[in-house]
Structures are given as C-alpha cells and as structure tokens.
C-alpha cells in the first residue's frame, strides 16, 4: 500500500506545445522556403502575429511536477519564423527560457460609473416595478 502511495507522488515530465527538433529547423532556409514548406516541415504554428500574418510562432515547453507542488519549467522554446510579402521565409529566431522576462502585473482597478449595490438591494431592487395591468 505504501509503495503505491509513493509512486503517485513521483515526478512527471509533461511536454506541451510544439518543440521542433534542431535538425528539422536547420532545413528551413531564408529566401528558399515558403509558408507551405514550413507548414509541412513543422506543422501548423502555435500562433500567428496579431495584426499581420507575417510571423509564425511555434511554442513548446517541458515541465516537471512533484506531487502537489507548483510545476517547474525545464525547457521552453519559441521559434519565430518571419515571412516577406511574397510568403517566403525572411528570418527565423529561437527564444529559450533564458530570454524570458518576468513582469509584474498592475494591480490597479478601473473605476466604473454607478454605485455598488448590496446583495439585499439587488434582490429587492425590482419589487413593485412591474406593471401587471395590460392595456
């Protein structure tokens, strides 16, 4: 019974996203390959740039987690493929976990118009406001 409980707390490695192999990435040459070639080699991208479709991103990471503790990121890779207006590869870049930057989210609250209602005011707010007479 105890060995079964201990194996449930073991570490697991999870791979999420798309982590292209370096030998496959080396096959992509700027000025030679098109979007179709990149899609056939790497598959569909994880995401495409927001306002124009000239950048494709392949995002993947490996994490490990022990029991109920927070997961630890072992490896993260983001491959950015840029295309020229003709749809041919212009450039490719690889970003790793070391390139990442921690950001502090802003804790501000956006003020809104109106007033705060209590639960009781919300519950009883419409009592007597309905017109039951039909004309």
Tens digits of residue pLDDT in 9-42: 567 888 888 878 888 888 888 989 999 999 999 8
Average pLDDT score over residue span 112-122: 80
Number of domains within the chain: 1
Instruction: Find the domain containing 25 and state its range.
Output: 9-99
Answer yes or no: is 127 within a domain: no
Give the model confidence (pLDDT) of 71-92 as tens digits: 888 888 999 999 999 989 999 8
The two three-digit tokens of residue 126, written as one number: 């419409």
Q: Quick check: is 17 in a domain? A: yes
- Which of the four pLDDT bands, split at 50, 70 and 90, describes residue 59? very high
50 falls within a domain: yes
The answer, yes or no, to whether residue 4 has pLDDT greater than 70, is no
* pLDDT above 80: residue 134: no
Pairing verdict, β 72-83 and 55-66:
antiparallel
Position 40 in a domain: yes
For residue 114, being part of any structural domain is answered with no
What's the whole-model pTM score? 0.66
Q: How far apart are CA 85 and CA 90, in angstroms?
A: 9
3 falls in which pLDDT band (50, 70, 90)? low
pLDDT band at 111 (very low <50, low <70, confident <90, very high): confident
With a CB cutoff of 8 Å and minimum separation 6, the contacts of 39 are: 45
Structure tokens at 127: 């009592």
Say if 128 falls within a structural domain: no
Which residues, in sequence order, are bridge partners of residue 81? 56, 92
Cβ contacts of 97 within 8 Å, gap of 6 or more: 61, 73, 75, 76, 77
What is the average pLDDT score of the chain?
A: 83
Please answer whether residues 63 and 72 qualify as being in contact, where contact means their C-beta atoms are separated by less than 8 angstroms.
yes
């Amino acid at each position: 019974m105890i060995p079964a409980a201990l194996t449930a707390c073991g570490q697991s490695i999870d791979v999420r996203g798309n982590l292209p192999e370096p030998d496959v990435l080396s096959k992509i040459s700027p000025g030679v390959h098109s979007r179709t070639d990149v899609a056939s080699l790497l598959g569909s991208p994880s995401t495409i740039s927001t306002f124009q479709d000239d950048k494709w991103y392949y995002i993947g990471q490996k994490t490990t987690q022990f029991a109920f503790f927070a997961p630890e990121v072992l490896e993260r890779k983001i491959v950015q493929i840029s295309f020229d207006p003709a749809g041919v590869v212009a450039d490719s870049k690889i970003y790793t976990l070391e390139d990442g930057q921690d950001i502090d989210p802003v804790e501000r609250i956006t003020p809104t118009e109106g007033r705060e209602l209590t639960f009781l005011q919300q519950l009883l707010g419409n009592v007597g406001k309905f017109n039951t007479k039909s004309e």
